[in-house]
Amino acid sequence: QATLKSDVKHPYPDWKAGEPVPYAALCQTFSLVELTTKRLEIMAHCALFLRQVLRLTPEDLLPTVLLMVNKLAPDYAGIELGIGESLIMKAIGESTGRSVAIIKQDQKEIGDLGLVAVKSRSTQPTMFKPKPLAIRGVLKGLLGIATVTGNGAQGRKVDGIKKLLSAADASGGKVDITKDKGGASEAKYLIRFLEGKLRLGLAEKTVIVSLAQAVVAHEATQKGKVPDTSDIEKGEAILKTVYSELPSYDVIIPAMVEHGIMNLREYCKLRPGVPLKPMLANPTKAITEVLDRFEGRNFTCEYKYDGERAQIHYVAKDAQEDLSQSTSNASKEVGKGVASIFSRNSEDLSKKYPDILAKLPTWVKEDTKSFVLDCESVAWDIDEKKVLPFQQLMTRKKKDVKIEDVKVKVCVFAFDLLYLNGEAVVTKSLRERRELLHKSFTPVEGEFAFATCMNGQELDEIQVFLDESVKASCEGLMVKMLDGEESGYEPSKRSRNWLKIKKDYLAGIGDSLDLVVLGAYHGKGKRTSVYGAFLLACYNPNLDSYETVCNIGTGFTEVVLEELYNQLSKIVIDRPKPFYAHSSGGQHQPDVWFEPKYVWEVKTADLTLSPRYKAGMKEGVDPSGEKGISLRFPRFIKIRDDKKADEATTSRQVAEMYRKQESVSKNKGPAVDDNF
Ligand code: ATP
């Protein structure tokens, strides 16, 4: 906290109050962050810098935060850079007068294109001193690159990168490319931003907390006070809640600067049109574990449908709600209103499910003027009138679906209501939300239904309900707190108030894992033309790294292997990324490495310790500190298209599963906490 109390000084004479914040100042902060792994220190560096921005140039706070979290816009805006490694190499080559072959060679040796850019720039004589980059200019340049479309888009993207690169200071004083640490080189961070990973160990939640600290400190200073700890804690809690209900810095930051952080909740509320991050559940191994957890409190069970999460937003035209501010452009006109559908990751699904949107007016009651629904969209067999397996749903096209071409019909199963008629209802109890849900919509067979639920509290009843859910082609049950404050909807949290029991848990370990494919081995025998086995990893959000957890070669059909080959051969890279934690040395190396992109769901018989894998090594499961956790007899289940690599199972979750299995904690250990 020392940094919050001290007066703010900044080392950039060119940066005067009201003038654009130099990009170099941000890079300086990045370089300090890069030199430490301690979260508190990282937070102090970020908070100090954000406080300087607030004091000198508050209008640059938004672009500064966006560049810190490696985002150009909110997730739902769907703005992506769409740049591959080869395009970046081309731009580095062209802007520094070096051939792509040499850049490739450097990339092989150094393994980080950011540092390759630094090296390329340092060998290039500078003819004139370019005008220094400003944060707002960099963001504008990057947005320009992201939004280029049409003929010759690739070429214009390269031009955009070249323009930024040639204005970037490469050296930043003291970059040591052999150590990959330190040095505030603008070129390095620009390139890493373009690659989508700043690799600073700077998680978004850390930026949010630092931002809250900076704002509280700034507001206190303005009043001639020293910020006290309780204000800082209050500010952090407010910002985290607001961001979870309205994940849009574009709305939150200007409101915070104008009205102050303590009043933020009044101005930034959940609203239709802006998707919120969904509430998630914790896995359990047995019904008895559920009973232990909810002991003495009312809970409810629902079928756990196996489809795709769908958050449906709607506002009737006569709802008289002012939604002019920041709604997503995913909204489509339906009946007498405007609706949108978002995925678990806040991506726009309206082009995938025009059939849902078309039917929506038939299940919305007359008095229901606006809402946000949490649902699962599930493949539906119209002849047999029953749920179809998830695999059927996956065969649907993802974009530009035309209603007349839809072969796999879907039924929407609604299980929660987050907003109704102009008001967020997330803090109401689940019992109340469910009542409102049932009152506000009309089920339509095979198109819209309420999730089947049962409020019985006895083990036998739950067992019967679980069996019924399995017969109804569901994955198992969701068990949720029903009454009281704890049963409120907790956006973006993996909560202990929602537990899942999957039918398969009851045998093997608690849950399947969602793992990232890092590498592959060439197939032998029948599999010679495809990859025969793969190297998988979990994600460590604290270090922003991928830790290997197993090799897998089981569970694939020939068709799937071919499909995977086509998909993965496009993202082969020359060498492992520096943020891959893997064993080095001959037989443990895969034949090819991949970008960290695809997530697969995998089941395992059990977990074991192995010197060959790195998962959870920092979680203290192996007293010698030499072994990681690995999966025994892993089996491929499916591709998780709805998860990004950094949403894979975390090292901590793997360690928790291992501990549970070893019954070290006898089911009484702390819940897996991957929340803020
Ligand atoms: P999983 O692999 O189990 O889907 P996940 O990480 O995607 O894991 P979890 O929180 O673990 O998400 O499981 C909840 C998911 O189950 C939700 O994201 C939702 O898509 C789905 N689901 C199906 N039925 C329900 C229900 N009745 N209530 C809540 N979620 C449900």
* Residue range 532-569, pLDDT digits in tens: 999 999 999 988 899 999 999 988 988 999 999 999 99
Residue 322: the pLDDT is: 61
Ligand 1 centroid–CA 263 distance in Å is: 33
Q: What is the ipTM of this complex?
A: 0.96
Q: In what order do the strands lie in the sheet with 280-283?
A: 280-283, 494-502, 476-481, 299-304, 453-454
Token duo for residue 415: 């299980």
Residue 510: the pLDDT is: 57
pLDDT in tens, 269-292: 999 999 999 999 998 878 888 998
Q: How many residues comprise the chain?
A: 676
Three-state secondary structure string covering 309-365: EEEEEEEEHHHCCCCCCCCCCCCEEECCEEEEEECCCCCECCCCCHHHHHHHHHHEC
Q: Which listed residue (304, 352, 369, 627) is catalytic?
A: 304
pLDDT in tens, 368-382: 999 999 999 999 999
Q: Is 116 exposed, middle or buried (0-12, 13-18, 19+ CB in 10 A)?
A: buried
Residue 2: the pLDDT is: 39
Probe ligand 1: pick from 453, 500, 637, max atoms within 8 Å of CB?
A: 500
Ligand 1 centroid–CA 280 distance in Å is: 7
> What whole-number distance in Å separates Cα of residue 572 and Cα of residue 592?
7
Can 90 be counted among the known catalytic residues? no
Prediction pTM value? 0.78
The answer to whether the beta carbons of residues 342 and 240 sit under 8 Å apart is no
> What whole-number distance in Å separates Cα of residue 104 and Cα of residue 85?
10
Pocket of ligand 1 (CB under 6 A): 278, 280-281, 302, 304-305, 309, 344, 376, 415, 451, 478, 500
Residue 662: the pLDDT is: 65
Looking at 441-540, list the stretches that DSSP marks H as alpha helix, in order from N- to C-terminal side. Answer: 459-471
Q: Which segments of the chain have a pLDDT < 70?
A: 1-11, 123-129, 170-184, 322-329, 504-510, 586, 662-676
Residue 178: the pLDDT is: 44
**Residue with token string 């922003």:** 544
Probe ligand 1: pick from 345, 478, 641, max atoms within 8 Å of CB?
A: 478
Atom of ligand 1 nearest to the CA of 512: 2
Probe ligand 1: pick from 376, 487, 496, max atoms within 8 Å of CB?
A: 376
**Residue with token string 């060498």:** 575
